Amino acid sequence: DFVYSVFPNVRSSNPLQSHDALPYDVREDRGHLPEWKGKAKDFEEAVKQRTLEDERRLFYVALTRAKQRLCVTSAWWYGRGTTEKGPSEFYAELRAMADAQGIEVLHEADKPEDNPVVDALEARRTWPPPPRAGLDDALFTDGWGVAADDAVADPGRADALIDALEDEARAEARRLIDAHEEELALIARASGDKQPVRAELPDILSATAHVALEAGRLDAWQIIRPLPDRPTVARRLGTEVHRLIEERTRGISPYADESELDEPGEITGPTFMATTLAHWERSGYAERELARLPSGEPMIELPFTLRLDDRIIRGRIDAVYTTDDGGLEIVDFKTGRRFEPEESDQLGLYARALKANGLIADGTPVTLTYLFLDGGEPATRAWNP
């Protein structure tokens, strides 16, 4: 059993009883929170488990941010408490994986019966403190600092001082020195000249990850051990706008239903979506003709797979339209802020995917367009394979 500790700490306020906690029923993320079902004990346990989930997410982030080496420590006692807390539950889980590749147990201390911090603090409970540490030590009449400087200047001085001690004191001094040297060797071994582990990219990447990797915005470790993204209203609204555009284009629903926009319990941003969809309508793309696959299926929200060297890239194209000159226009709808397109970006990758899959014939003119749904002009350029 693990007692309440520093990390994970599953102590949390009961939102039904605390005046400084927002009740779950009125929170925007209530769909992911424990639900009150009439039993206080069950609800408190559910809140505790939810808090543990949050702590475990934090633990995941802490473990995956190190680029070369990560040291994990724990302790039997914390602070000046009189109750032993023991190593963390998370530490115990890692300790159980000690035989796995890349995990090494450097040192484990025996459990002390009493809190060593208490005695250490008691020994220092003097006021005013001495002007220099060690002035009350008969062996170092000028204080420990002066003695340390002398030992650095004359390495043999420390041995001479130890040899002058009584047998019992000399043995204790040697024991302390050996313990310190063992700890220093442990630190040196842990921070030695080990080469950093090279991150191997997965065989399958998303189009977004591939483009970010090529542009230098991501490295291999960030792809292998991604930092969890916090859900945002803007991202949720962007996804919803894309869905409504697809439905409108396919003729499934001409406009967003009021029931969808006014659904209680979900933030859908009706004003934002209505404005964004109006910008899309006025852009003229609502009336444009979509290109079609050989099967006759319109090219909207079109999934694709592209092999680049030994890697598979997967993604989804918002829409592909025909043009008056017999060409194609690949369009990506953007609900966020404007940006300057890069030379090697997602639209270029989309065009390469269509070409590789036989959907762009030789000599076909291809246009790449970011349609910003803020009412401004789209960013358009020709694709030169």
pTM value?
0.53
Residues forming beta bridges with residue 317, ordered by sequence position? 302
The helix/strand/coil state of 136 is coil
What are the structural domains of the chain?
A: 127-190 (no CATH), 198-385 (3.90.320)
For residue 185, the model assigns a pLDDT of: 87
Two tokens at 382? 């020709």
The CA distance from 379 to 263, in Å, is 34
The helix/strand/coil state of 9 is coil
Per-residue pLDDT of the chain (385 residues; tens, 9 = 90+): 555 567 888 887 778 777 777 888 888 888 888 888 888 889 888 888 888 898 999 999 888 888 778 888 888 887 777 778 878 889 988 888 887 767 888 888 888 888 888 777 776 676 766 666 666 777 777 878 888 888 889 988 888 888 888 899 999 999 999 999 988 888 887 776 666 667 788 999 999 999 988 888 888 888 888 877 777 777 787 888 888 888 888 876 544 443 343 333 344 446 888 888 888 889 999 899 999 999 999 999 999 999 998 899 999 999 999 999 999 999 999 988 888 887 778 999 999 999 999 999 999 999 999 999 888 899 999 998 7
Q: Which has the closest alpha carbon to 295: 368, 357, 366, 365?
A: 357
Pairing state of beta strands 300-308 and 311-322? antiparallel
For residue 5, the model assigns a pLDDT of: 65
The CA distance from 80 to 69, in Å, is 31
Helix axes 167-190, 155-163, angle to 10 degrees: 140
